[in-house]
Structure 1
Amino acid sequence: MKRLLIFIFSMMMALPSSFAATITAAQDPWPPFISPDKSMPGLSVEIAVAAMKTQGYDVNFQIMPWSRALNEVTKGRIDLLPATWYTQERTAYLVYSDSYLENELSFIKRAGDAFEFSGLNSLSGKQVGIVRGYGYGDDFLSATNFNKPDANDLTTNLKKLQAKRIDLTLEDKLVALSTMKEAGLNSSDFQFTTASLSKNPLHVTSGKANPNAQKYIDAYNKGLATIKADGTFDAILAKYGIQ
């Protein structure tokens, strides 16, 4: 009888860790950081899942267009965006985690185009394709000396660039090359400018309308420190060929 009671007590003590709370996350395809491939869901997704798991959370991730994902997180209907750039505007409605990686945002041009970026003035008169809702930085977005036609995704902008409907688009080089490959576009049709627009740290974010936003971000920060210390973070990077 005593052994039975000890067993039951042990099982009861184990229950909280056996049934992890499930939270939601969403974002658009953004390889290699975000991918619809279940076996390779992306760096940002795997880092978020691993970090939150150490704090007792399971993450239910889904793919959706960026503008919709941002809106759902902002309104608190979805808990996390796994890969977010910082903008001053977004601090009004998003809680930011510690940064975990960095993107370098370069301009993409058609192969053979002599253009080189040397500041926002060098974009005068250009048609620069952007992705709707992306945080390119306040100075870039408020500049009025060039046009910024938007699209739902980078693939659309790359096709518009090929068709000479825009002069430039911009993205992290690693993301752009992965997107070209997945979309069946020939990377030799494009070139990257030598100078970049900016270097953007990546963060996980949660909407301030979500009553648990700060709790989730605090948990992520603790989990991130844990997976960096135990080697999980580096193992995820290595899985995607990043050292």
Structure 2
Amino acid sequence: MSPAIKWVLNIVAFLAFSASPAAASEPLTLVADEWPPFSGSELPGQGLSMDVTRAVLERAGYDVKTAILPWARVMNGARTGEYDIITSLPPSDDLEELLNYSEPFYSTEVKFIQQKGGDIAFRGIESLRPYSIAVAAGFVYSTEFDNADFLNKFEVTTTLQGIRMVAAAHIDLTLDSVDVLRHSILREDPSLGDRIAFLEPALTTQSIHMGVSTFRSDHATIVSDFNRVLRDMQADGSFAELLDKHNVN
């Protein structure tokens, strides 16, 4: 091989490496709030959403650093562009202009629970008017429910607090993702499972996404890379293995 050809090949290899996502920028900062089993500091892989988002991005060639933060801090960071990526996200009008959402990587039903033996029937939002309902501050349930100011909503700090209040008949209803409700009961107090009952039908089905800050000029590229690799992982079985790790597949 001539020195000239070798020099050209070295330049091509250098440019290809420099253009890769991991080499082109600092590590992406990926954050979420405490929302087990989707995200949490004490969960395997920091939770399903964090584990999936990190794995997909790393396979796409990005370097990623992660943190679990209070929701208020996550929201403030979204408004200022402090964080590159936020995950564990149901769609939210409040974040639409701040984040470029990926394709969904999971979906979960949001349901109400009542005390076991209760006779509350869910027939639409209007049917909930007589009841007290524990809700988490800042959580997005559904547009119709969130905007229903006529309902008697009582803010709680954790899902488990709402479940315990329902089980003790201190409040009529609470609601969350069924994955979150079941995880809270199994991890914190399995006896609660015998004291509550799910209402049918579900209020809504929420898709779970990650979102890239629109403060970043390359947000569309990162989302495109994520979506492409997510589809690859769904096709080759590695995505299902990740879900198995979190007992939700």
* TM-score bracket for the superposition, by shorter chain length: 0.7 to 0.9
- 8 Å CA contact 1:74–1:208 kept in 2: the answer is no
Moved more, 121-130 or 19-28: 19-28
- 8 Å CA contact 1:125–1:145 kept in 2: the answer is no
Partners of 1:202 and 1:112 in 2: CA distance: 32
Taking structure 2 as the reference length, the TM-score comes to 0.83
Partners of 1:137 and 1:69 in 2: CA distance: 20
- 8 Å CA contact 1:74–1:209 kept in 2: the answer is no
Displaced runs of 4+ in structure 1, greater than 6 A? Answer: none
**What is the aligned residue count?**
240
Partners of 2:99 and 2:148 in 1: CA distance: 24
Partners of 1:180 and 1:146 in 2: CA distance: 26
Deviations 1:201-225 (A, max 9, x none): 1111133344443333223212212
Question: Any stretches of 5+ residues in structure 2 without a counterpart?
Answer: none
Deviations 1:148-170 (A, max 9, x none): 22233212222333444432111
Pair 1:173-2:178 in alignment: yes
Shift of 1:23: 1.0
Instruction: Sort the Cα spacing of 1:97 and 1:18 in 2 relative to 1 into closer, same or farther, 3 A.
Output: closer
- 8 Å CA contact 1:70–1:81 kept in 2: the answer is no
Partners of 2:205 and 2:148 in 1: CA distance: 18
Taking structure 1 as the reference length, the TM-score comes to 0.85
Shift of 1:14: 8.6
Partners of 1:39 and 1:105 in 2: CA distance: 23
Match of 1:237 among 219, 224, 243: 243
Shift of 1:18: 10
Deviations 1:21-64 (A, max 9, x none): 41112222322222323644222112111110122112222112
- 8 Å CA contact 1:87–1:135 kept in 2: the answer is yes
1:26 alignment counterpart: 31
1:133 alignment counterpart: 138
Instruction: Sort the Cα spacing of 1:111 and 1:27 in 2 relative to 1 into closer, same or farther, 3 A.
Output: same
Identical columns (%): 25
